Structure 1
Amino acid sequence: MVVRNNLNLDVLELIFSHLAGNDLPTVALVSHAFFGAVIPYLYSILLFRLSQAKRYPRVMSPFAAIAVHPEFAIHVRHDQYNPKFLAECSRALALCNNLTSFRCSVDSLPPFISVLQKKDRLRDLRIYAKLTTEQCLKMVGGAAQIRHLTLDFASWNVMNLLPQWAGALRSSLTTLTLFMANELNETVLESALEQLPNLLGLHVIGCTKIDHVSILGLVHHTPNLTALSMTTGDCSARALPTPGTSLANLVHLALDVRFHNQSPAFLGVSSTSSVVLTSIFTHIAASSPSLTSVILKYPDRQNPVTIASSFIQQQLIGAHGRTLKTIALIDCYVDLDVIAAISGSCVGLERFEVMIPMRDLKLFTAALSNSHTLRLLVDANALNTQHPRRSGPSLTQDYLKQMFTAVASLRKVVGGDRRVWTRREDAHAGGFTVGMERKPTSHSAAIHWFMPRE
């Protein structure tokens, strides 16, 4: 007879590989056998949430647990830390020789620089890059096998050394992300990209001296790009370069739409932003890419504009309707007839992120019902991690029941209040039931909004 204590260890580990969250520590309390099998998954990610921090030191941090039990460090693959626990985290990191990813999204990186230099398996690095020249030189020399590099709020010291860092990562780097680096200029960026001909992902967002004209003039250095993110500029000031074929492999495009010369209130539906977006899509079309993912984000979520229907019809549906699987329209409105056109014409659409019109929910649901492939619907309000919607009408179970019925392929809806509604097949309940859980905020800053969705 098979009981919990005589199950083969390999079988237990296979079972536990499908668990996550609170299930892992719960399983660890069952027996010694369960504890031993769940350890590799329990300590794979070191995460310290605000709710735990409020109970510290009564509740031990995972970093302190690693420091007390260094034998667990071999299992750590990912680490997120709170600045209040720098000492414990540094000690834990020093023991985690198998670390593959590290993220520091606040200005607290210096204590970890020396520790990160010794992580030969580190592949994914995201840092708040406000560093001195000396600190940056240590990072350049210590992280030689990085595949995905994200530099947030980089100082001028870091940007001056970007070409040198790119040269050091020439053989390994596949994704370069530069976010809010105001000191970055076109000369420095070109010097870096010249050394990264095999780059697959380039994301340059919120860098005041670099706009889409600059980026499109430099992508000939990176002909293998599959993902591109950029901030729009003013087309009237500088002409786009002559279209080439350097974006033939592009599948993901994200645009940070910025207004120029006119206020958002004046722009309304027919805006200069549509002219800029049309010029970008026309330029890219010369490479004949097969876009599967498009993200557009507008600058003012308090006064969102309505995207021109003609732009959606021609540049998204007309040019890429056959290949698009993900469409995200953030901080903007879309007419219901456009929703219906997207649902009916984008024959492979699986993920749709849009501001759900709560007061026109029935008409919105009817527009979505044109889709036979949509699996995930995300209210774009949920993407604002700092100011999620907390008032006004919300999705209810009755609404979701109607939506799941009308859109048979739909499996999950993420509401603006961060509730996640899931369709659960149940033959005894008339075909399916609707389950709900609260979307955790702990991973809200794990990836930037413009990155490709999983």
Structure 2
Amino acid sequence: MVSADNLNLDVLELIFAYLSGNDLVSVSLVSRSFFAGVIPRLYHTLGFRLSHSKKYPQVKSPFAAVMAHPDFAVHVRQIDIRTVPLIHSHPHPEFVRDCTNVIKLASNLTSFTLTVVDALPPFLPALQGKERLRDLRVYANLTSDQSAKLIGLKGLSSLVLDHASWNLVDLLPTWTRSLSASLTSLTLYMASDLNELVLRHVLSHCPHLTGLHVVGCPRADHVTVLKLASLFTPNLESLSMTSWENPRPLPPTLTPLRHLKHLALDTHCSMAPPHAPPVWTPLFQKTAEWSCPLASVTLRLSERLAVADGFVQALLDAHAGTLRSLFFVGCRLGPDALRRVCERCEELERLGVGVPGKDIDEFIDCMAKCASLRVLVDMGTDRHVPGKTGVGRVNITRDSVEDLMDITNINLVLTETRRWTRAEGEMTAKLERRKPVALSHWFMPKI
């Protein structure tokens, strides 16, 4: 007779790989066999969020739990810290101590994320010598000495630097030279001192890049990024960049990026002209010439301007057959343009667009014309516009969601505070009372 106690441990680990969160904790209490099978999965990822910080130190952090059983650190693969508890306006020393000790013991660490402002320096010594570390995302406002420690990390395949200081920007060419053989994805977000010369040296060392995201860097606009990307990284599959006021024209000749699958554009503009900025049209004319298989497009505006129907027509003429994800952030899309998107994008699975407060029936009729659509994200609140705060507007009600799911194949609707799902033919509504945590930047691929 087969029981949990005589099942192979590898089999239990495979079964428990389908569980997460509190389910793993509950299973670990069943028996010693289940506990042993759950441990690798339970300690695979250590995260720390605002909800944890509010309860600290009354509730033990996951890092303190590991330090109570140091042998468990061998199972830690990912560490993701989104907030750090404070005491007298400084990081709590016990928390930092537990975190750094876990990092030192986690010999199999492959991913480290720390997005807290100016919290990285105490963690730098512990990160040294992590030979299996492949993915790194940090808030990188560092001094020269701190930057020198950070660029000592080798073997990275994915690097995300938020708000990199000039000290680190100055060392980027040296760092990417040492990462030349391994780096496949590079993200530079809000690096005010990044310029064309530095970016040229950086990309010249990154021949294997398939993902490049340079966003919010005022000295490296979309023309600079596109020119250097076509020159040094023609195999790109994912590209994000920013256009600023009075953008320069694109170079007449660019090496085609024929493998491009995801494109995100962060566009800063004033309230004039009344429609989406003209910089988008020549860019998508290029992608049409390259015949690249764009599956994901994200367009973001600093002001809520209307997207011209002519531009939507040009976008669909070029990529309607391959688009699976399309997001309009901070944009207004007219009913005719929305209907055209739903009619022509036969492979579209995810759509992010502002849900109208009025004429919801017409909106639902448009959604019904896209049989492949599975996920709808309401982008209509001001929180999606840079520099503005959400006001909690909810355009879509439970009745509207029921009508939407009744006549479409959509099974997930996301708004600012709500998550509506349909399972086994029935629609259920779940209210997200906590503000959702963005696990990645808005411009990263959604496919």
Task: Check whether TM > 0.5.
Answer: yes
Q: Which runs of 5+ in 1 are unaligned?
A: 426-431
Q: Does 1:268 align with 2:274?
A: yes
Q: Is 2:309–2:334's contact at 8 Å kept on the other side of the alignment?
A: yes
* TM-superposed deviation, 1:292: 0.8
Q: Secondary structure at the match of 1:366?
A: helix
Q: Does 1:137 align with 2:127?
A: no
Measured in 2, the distance between the counterparts of 1:233 and 1:42 equals 45
1:279-294 superposed matches below 5 A = 279-294=282-297
1:50-449 superposed matches below 5 A = 50-81=50-81, 82-84=83-85, 85-106=95-116, 107-141=118-152, 143-219=153-229, 220-234=231-245, 238-259=248-269, 263-264=270-271, 266-269=272-275, 273=277, 275-300=278-303, 304-314=304-314, 316-381=315-380, 384=384, 387-396=389-398, 398-407=399-408, 409-417=409-417, 419-425=418-424, 432-439=425-432, 444-449=437-442
Measured in 2, the distance between the counterparts of 1:442 and 1:118 equals 36
What residue identity is the alignment partner of 1:447? S
Distance 1:389 1:8, change over 3 A: farther
Question: Normalising to structure 2: TM-score of the pair?
Answer: 0.91
* TM-superposed deviation, 1:392: 4.5
Q: Is 1:258–1:299's contact at 8 Å kept on the other side of the alignment?
A: yes
Distance 1:16 1:443, change over 3 A: farther
Measured in 2, the distance between the counterparts of 1:171 and 1:8 equals 39
Q: Secondary structure at the match of 1:449?
A: coil
Measured in 1, the distance between the counterparts of 2:245 and 2:226 equals 14
Measured in 2, the distance between the counterparts of 1:222 and 1:348 equals 28
Q: What are the superposed Cα offsets for residues 269-309 of structure 1, whole Å, 9 maximum, x if unpaired? A: 3x5x1x11112212333322121110001113xxx221111
* TM-superposed deviation, 1:160: 0.8
Distance 1:6 1:439, change over 3 A: farther
Distance 1:389 1:435, change over 3 A: farther
Measured in 2, the distance between the counterparts of 1:401 and 1:126 equals 39
Q: Secondary structure at the match of 1:161?
A: helix
Q: Which runs of 5+ in 2 are unaligned?
A: 86-94
* TM-superposed deviation, 1:140: 1.5
What residue identity is the alignment partner of 1:449? W
Q: What are the superposed Cα offsets for residues 10-67 of structure 1, whole Å, 9 maximum, x if unpaired? A: 3322221111122111222222222211111111111123333323222111111111
* TM-superposed deviation, 1:421: 1.5
- After TM superposition, the structure 1 stretch with the greater mean CA deviation from structure 2, 63-72 or 79-88, is 79-88
Q: What are the superposed Cα offsets for residues 108-144 of structure 1, whole Å, 9 maximum, x if unpaired? A: 1111111111211111101111112222122212x21
Q: Is 1:104–1:128's contact at 8 Å kept on the other side of the alignment?
A: yes
What residue identity is the alignment partner of 2:402? K
Measured in 2, the distance between the counterparts of 1:182 and 1:336 equals 38
Distance 1:11 1:61, change over 3 A: same
What residue identity is the alignment partner of 1:110? P
What residue identity is the alignment partner of 2:428? G
Q: Is 1:381–1:416's contact at 8 Å kept on the other side of the alignment?
A: no
Aligned to 2:40: 40
Q: Is 2:349–2:373's contact at 8 Å kept on the other side of the alignment?
A: yes
Q: Secondary structure at the match of 2:219?
A: coil
Instruction: Calculate the aligned-residue CA RMSD, in Å.
Output: 2.1
Distance 1:66 1:378, change over 3 A: same
What residue identity is the alignment partner of 2:58? R
Measured in 2, the distance between the counterparts of 1:48 and 1:244 equals 44
- After TM superposition, the structure 1 stretch with the greater mean CA deviation from structure 2, 1-10 or 331-340, is 1-10
Measured in 2, the distance between the counterparts of 1:354 and 1:91 equals 44
Q: Is 1:198–1:223's contact at 8 Å kept on the other side of the alignment?
A: no
What residue identity is the alignment partner of 2:325? T
Measured in 2, the distance between the counterparts of 1:31 and 1:200 equals 45
Q: Is 2:113–2:138's contact at 8 Å kept on the other side of the alignment?
A: yes
Distance 1:215 1:53, change over 3 A: closer
Distance 1:235 1:390, change over 3 A: closer
Q: Is 1:216–1:241's contact at 8 Å kept on the other side of the alignment?
A: no
* TM-superposed deviation, 1:381: 4.7
Aligned to 2:90: none
Q: Is 1:211–1:232's contact at 8 Å kept on the other side of the alignment?
A: yes
Aligned to 1:429: none
What residue identity is the alignment partner of 1:240? L
Measured in 2, the distance between the counterparts of 1:45 and 1:387 equals 31
Question: Normalising to structure 1: TM-score of the pair?
Answer: 0.90
Measured in 2, the distance between the counterparts of 1:242 and 1:277 equals 16
Distance 1:305 1:234, change over 3 A: closer
Measured in 2, the distance between the counterparts of 1:165 and 1:115 equals 19
Distance 1:161 1:246, change over 3 A: farther
Q: What are the superposed Cα offsets for residues 312-337 of structure 1, whole Å, 9 maximum, x if unpaired? A: 111x2111101111101011111112
Distance 1:49 1:38, change over 3 A: same
Measured in 2, the distance between the counterparts of 1:18 and 1:171 equals 34
Measured in 2, the distance between the counterparts of 1:76 and 1:152 equals 24
Q: Is 2:394–2:415's contact at 8 Å kept on the other side of the alignment?
A: no
What residue identity is the alignment partner of 1:282? Q
Aligned to 2:88: none
Distance 1:443 1:89, change over 3 A: farther
Measured in 2, the distance between the counterparts of 1:87 and 1:78 equals 18
Distance 1:381 1:388, change over 3 A: farther
Q: Does 1:23 align with 2:11?
A: no
Q: Secondary structure at the match of 1:176?
A: strand
Q: Secondary structure at the match of 1:47?
A: strand
* Aligned residue-pair number: 432
Identity of aligned residues (%): 43
Q: Is 1:325–1:348's contact at 8 Å kept on the other side of the alignment?
A: yes
- After TM superposition, the structure 1 stretch with the greater mean CA deviation from structure 2, 290-299 or 20-29, is 20-29
Q: Secondary structure at the match of 2:255?
A: coil
